[in-house]
Structure 1
Amino acid sequence: MKRSIRLYEYAPLLERTFSPSDSYMMGVIPNLLEARPYKVRTNELGAILPSIDRFQSPRKLSVILGDSVPECLFVDEDSRIESVLSKLNGNNSYLNFAYSGATSLDILNIFFNKVIALAPAKVFFMAGVFDEKISKIGFFSNDKRVATVDGLFANEGVFFNDFFKSREVFLKCIFSACNDLGIDCYVGTFGHRHHHDDPYEKFCNYKNPDDNLLCTINSQTKNWLTITI
């Protein structure tokens, strides 16, 4: 039986537009989003590119990982997170591997299969929206929404399927790998979402949970830098 790892990714060298559907617009706060086409361009690895004029000069590489939040699909190209970070820090170039619907396990797969080979200086990591939606299914399942290896888990719950424990393992794998490889790992979080059993919070040990914070892990010292967003 042929098997393959499913990576949540864009096609390489993509250049097309995406428009929010009517059903998508129904769930959006009024006047927050325009129902029109939004342009997306990717490189040969399927990473979303920032604005062309901010990417061409040779600079240190930083990578963004996550789900639909850092993906910023329905945002103008020059206002997406990779372009905004590029404006704030002209010494770095940014590639965005975030993809709508990606779980922490999907992000781990992207990290090991694509990101490590790029030897980035920094990794910006943000996920959790879709993790919550599949918490009752678990990560190891043949459910088409979450299956990462086609045909591997024929029976539900036959493998390690403790959702929160699994998620904690995935996160620690990324953090440990970044530490071993000398990559600074930056973790973006939702300040208004607080599940005290969530490994994000256990790992981060927030001191000010009432703010919206971009929590930064320094992979060498384990010190925290918090930036209000």
Structure 2
Amino acid sequence: MECRKDIVSLIHKYFDEEITETENKQLKQHLNECNHCRNHFNELKKSIAFVQSSSHIVAPPNFTDLVMKQLPQPKRSNNWKRWMKKNPFLVAASVFIILMSTSVFSFWLDSGDELSVSGQANLIIDKDRNVVVIPEGEIVEGDLIVRNGSLQIDGQVNGNVTIINGQNYRASVGNVTGNIEEIDKGLEWIWYNIKSFLSDAVNVFDGKKSNE
């Protein structure tokens, strides 16, 4: 195989006109002894001769115009383009809602059924009952999100509570200063994320405005 690689390299150098006299003698000697390499050499020689013989063929001067005329004409959509130019905000809002809905709904389907909770506090997670418990006397600062499980509030939450695919159990001593929202459908989850995004965007805009 090593000899075979060397000969192939010499054949390429021969057709590239880069072969030395010594290498040319070595190549000819091998081609006289090896039928396989000789056939390969002759096939390459024929291919190169064919390409060189057809190099003078050129397309007619009007070839491009004739081809372009045969192509199907695109449908006119001037009315649609004019409408988009007049309503850029609606177009941007529509694209945003579609992309947001697609990504959120995909996340909803791929997230599985595992219980998860987001929030900074000493919470008790009862996996047997699939319940997150806020013990009595415990105070959760900020928003709390429980997914694929229920929430038992015996303490206090200084923020909003969102329960996804679960229920809310609040004792008489339990207290939530913000809103409590239960989400059990994909469309509700999408709407919740859109509202959260818009709320954050408004807060950022108001913050920049107040700084000015």
Which TM class, normalised by the smaller chain length? under 0.3
TM-score scaled by structure 2? 0.22
TM-score scaled by structure 1? 0.21
Larger relative contact order, structure 1 or 2 (CA cutoff 8 Å, min sep 6): 1
Q: Structure 1 or 2: larger helix share?
A: 2
Larger-Rg structure: 2
